[in-house]
Structure 1
Amino acid sequence: MVTITGLRGIPTISKVCDLPQILIKTIKKGHFQIADGDIICVASKICSLAEGDVIDLNKVVPTPLAQKIQQRIPKKDERLIQVIIDQTGDPNGSKLEISGNHIGAWLPNGLFLTSGGVDKDKNNTAITLPKNCDLIAKRISKAFYQELGIETSVIITDSDGRADKKGANQVAVGLYGLNGLRTNKKTGTSETLCDLLAAAAGLVMGQRGINIPLACIHGLEYEKATDFSIANTVN
């Protein structure tokens, strides 16, 4: 039987810190149960905060392109639009897709995310995705083994909306310790296992305000792999 449990009590991350150690301390304090082979899903936002991926919007100067897009989507802060453009690595905006009031962006690692994974936060700041979520997943997995003596796979998750639906889902933006793809032996078709797991973890982790940025998935049989990256899941 597959079970999903959320870790409560993780302190608010407000500055650059050693996230794996904070998670480990919280796990020990709460006697949170994790076993060998479990899959740990961690929200990208706390990873970003721990890595210092926070931008002061007061210091962002919008380009003419950002200003032009803002005219199409008045509710979007033109400075935030500029941050989204910057995340794509293409100042010309060719990696943006605009539909209605939504901006989608292709990132350098091949992922396509709503707003390029950028979130507007309090105090006039923007939070961007970490540069290498696979590496963060690896660090967490290695720290859990060193400190807790358990071998886990780790998925970094991010909320992602769709222009045709309300609300948001969770998708994988980084991983370590598992093959992110799974092939159906009957049909020969592949499915993105890491996204299925991220979405399942979202049932427990929820969206903003829930404060459960870590979920443990227990009891699933899957292919372990230490050489698989999120880039292997994109076209």
Structure 2
Amino acid sequence: MIEINGLHGVPQISEPGYLPKILVETIKKENFTIAEGDVLCVASKLCSIAEGNVIELGQVRPSVLAQKIHAQIPRKDARLIQVVIDQTGDPTGNSLEIADNYLGAWLSSGLFLTSGGVDKGQGDTVITLPQDCDRSAREIRAAIFAELGIRTSVIITDSDGRVDKKGATQVAIGLSGLSGLRVNEHTHTSETLCDLLAAAAGLVMGQRGVNIPLVCIHGLDYEKSLECGIGDVVNGR
């Protein structure tokens, strides 16, 4: 039987710090049960804030392109749009997808995310994705093994929407310790296991304000791998 449990008591992080240590200390303090082979899903926003990926919008000067997109999507601040453009590394806007009220972006990692994974932060700030989500996952996994002696797998998750549906779900944007794909033994087709797990974690993790940024999935039989990263599951653009 698969069990999904959320870690409560994670302190609010408002400035850079070493997240793996914070998570391990919280796991100990809360007597949170983690077993060998469990999959831990960690919210990317927690990683981002701990890594200092917070941008003051007052320091951002929107380009002509950002202002043009803002005219199409008035609910998106032109400065936020400029940050999204910057995240793609493509000032031409060719890495953006715009439809009705939706803004999506292709990132250099090959991922396609709503607003390029850029979220509103506290006050007049926005939060961008971790620089290397696989590395973030590796560091958390390594700290848990070093401090607790337990081998786990870690998935970094992000909230993502779709142009054809309301609301959002959770997707994987980084991983360590497992293969992101698995082959369905009945249909012999590939399943994006890391996204299935991220979405399952979202049932407990919730959206903004819930403050359950780490979820443990227990009882799953899966292929473990120290070599795989998110790049093994993306098609790119």
Give me the whole-angstrom Cα distance separating, in 1, the residues matched to 2:25 and 2:121: 26
TM-score normalised by length of structure 1: 0.99
Written as runs of structure 1 = structure 2, the 5 A alignment for 1:81-96 is 81-96=81-96
Report matched runs for 1:1-235 at 5 Å: 1-235=1-235
What SS does the aligned partner of 1:113 have?
strand
Deviations 1:123-164 (A, max 9, x none): 100000011000010000000000001000000000001111
Tell me the CA shift for residue 6 of structure 1: 0.1
Q: Which amino acid aligns with 1:7?
A: L
* CA distance in 1: counterparts of 2:108 and 2:76, whole angstroms: 23
CA distance in 1 between counterparts of 2:43 and 2:83 reads 20
Q: CA deviation at 1:231?
A: 0.8
Supply the distance in 2 between the matched residues of 1:72 and 1:32 (Cα, whole angstroms): 47
SS at match of 1:13: coil
User: 2:13, 2:176 → 1: CA distance?
Assistant: 23
d(CA) in 2 for partners of 1:101, 1:133: 28
Cα shift at 1:12: 0.4
Q: Which amino acid aligns with 2:234?
A: V
1:75, distance to aligned residue in structure 2 (A): 1.2
Look up the SS of the partner of 1:203 in the other structure: helix
| C-alpha distance in 2 between matches for 1:213 and 1:96 | 28
- How far does the alpha carbon of each residue in 1:51-97 deviate from its partner, in whole angstroms, 9 at most, with x for none? 00000000000000001111111111000000000000000000000
Task: Please provide the CA RMSD for this pair.
Answer: 0.5
Whole-angstrom CA distance in 1 between matches of 2:15 and 2:234: 32
The one-letter code of the counterpart of 2:74 is P
Give the Å deviation of 1:107: 0.3
- Quote the Cα distance in structure 2 between the aligned partners of 1:83 and 1:219: 40
**How big is the shift at 1:217?**
0.2
Q: CA deviation at 1:186?
A: 2.2
Q: Post-superposition shift, 1:191?
A: 0.7
CA distance in structure 2 between the aligned counterparts of 1:4 and 1:227, rounded to whole angstroms? 25
Residue 41 of structure 1: CA displacement?
0.3
Which letter maps to 1:181?
L
Q: Give SS of 2:166's match.
A: coil
> Normalization by structure 2: what TM-score?
0.98
1:166, CA displacement in angstroms?
A: 1.2
Query: Gaps spanning 5+ residues in structure 1: where?
Result: none
Counterpart Cα distance in 2 of 1:209 and 1:41: 17
